[in-house]
């Protein structure tokens, strides 16, 4: 019975990591669509968001079944609870990437655009945070999770700098307000995306140590 339960826990973790990889791929495509103003790719991202929602639902059902039908030890409970709450964060992260795709559809050509390099770096850092988390999670590396979460402060710095720039441009040029509004949405989605990564890092620390920490 224990061997079977361990196998089911392993399969649960693999499903979670698969969902995380899907979110990472979606985020990469969303940022590519933003950089190239590719509206066709943006539409595809929006239309495929349901796959992430379905993945979350399947994982939550598996967690509920394991808790109801098995007799988990304390460490098993921490693991299942961590997966259940973290997959909810992944689903929200997917929603934020769909939000970026929707904003791309609203951007007007030859109108306001903020510092593209800063925006690119903000997106690149967000992707690297999630990529590193997906490596650290199956190894249950709490120390790595803490270092990943600390990068959220840099994301916040990008957010405040870009917000200030965009609002300034909108004040100077009324015609830039429509695009400026969409760019404010975009950087807001990226900032929240990173916040959810920090949330999952907190779950990883809890999984290894049993301690609830605030990394965000």
Quick: pLDDT tens for 34-79. 999 999 999 999 999 999 999 999 999 999 998 887 777 888 889 9
Terminal-residue alpha carbon distance, the chain: 39
Residue 215 counted as domain residue: no
Residue 198 counted as domain residue: yes
b/e 139-150 (16+ beta carbons within 10 angstroms → b): ebbbebbbebbe
CATH number where 51 lies:
1.20.58.220
Contact 180, 63 (CB under 8 A): no
Residue 214 counted as domain residue: no
| Predicted local confidence at residue 1, as pLDDT | 56
The model's confidence at residue 154, banded by pLDDT at 50, 70 and 90, is very high
The model's confidence at residue 147, banded by pLDDT at 50, 70 and 90, is very high
Residue 216 counted as domain residue: no
Residue 105 counted as domain residue: yes
Contact 56, 19 (CB under 8 A): yes
pTM comes to 0.94
Task: Give Cβ neighbours of residue 72 (< 8 Å, ≥ 6 apart).
Answer: 5, 66, 80
User: Is it the case that residue 203 has pLDDT exceeding 90?
Assistant: yes
Residue 8 counted as domain residue: yes
User: Is it the case that residue 216 has pLDDT exceeding 80?
Assistant: no
| Predicted local confidence at residue 70, as pLDDT | 74
Contact 70, 2 (CB under 8 A): no
Contact 170, 176 (CB under 8 A): yes
**Which has the higher per-residue pLDDT, 72 or 210?**
210
Domain coverage including residue 18: 1-209
- Tell me the C-alpha to C-alpha distance, in Å, between residue 166 and each of 19, 184, 185: 33, 7, 11
The percent of residues in the chain predicted with pLDDT above 90, rounded, is 77
| Predicted local confidence at residue 2, as pLDDT | 64
Q: How many domains does the chain have?
A: 1
Contact 111, 175 (CB under 8 A): yes
**Per-chain mean pLDDT for the chain:** 93
Nearest by Cα to 215 from 120, 164, 156, 148: 148
């Amino acid at each position: 019975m224990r061997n079977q339960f361990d196998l089911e826990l392993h399969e649960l973790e693999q499903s979670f990591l698969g969902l995380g990889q899907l979110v990472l791929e979606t985020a990469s495509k969303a940022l590519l669509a933003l950089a190239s103003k590719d509206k066709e790719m943006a539409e595809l991202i929006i239309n495929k968001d349901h796959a992430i929602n379905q993945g979350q639902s399947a994982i939550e059902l598996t967690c509920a079944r394991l808790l109801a039908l098995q007799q988990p030890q304390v460490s098993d409970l921490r693991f299942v609870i961590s997966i259940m709450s973290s997959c909810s964060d992944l689903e929200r992260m997917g929603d934020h990437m769909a939000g970026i795709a929707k904003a791309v559809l609203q951007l007007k050509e030859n109108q306001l655009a903020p510092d593209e390099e800063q925006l690119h770096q903000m997106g690149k850092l967000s992707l690297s945070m999630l990529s590193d988390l997906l490596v650290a999670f199956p190894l249950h590396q709490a120390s790595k999770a803490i270092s990943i979460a600390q990068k959220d402060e840099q994301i916040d710095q990008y957010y405040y700098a870009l917000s200030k720039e965009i609002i300034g441009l909108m004040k100077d040029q009324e015609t830039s307000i429509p695009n400026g509004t969409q760019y404010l949405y975009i950087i807001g989605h990226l900032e929240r995306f990173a916040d959810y990564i920090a949330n999952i890092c907190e779950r990883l620390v809890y999984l290894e140590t049993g301690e609830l920490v605030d990394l965000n």
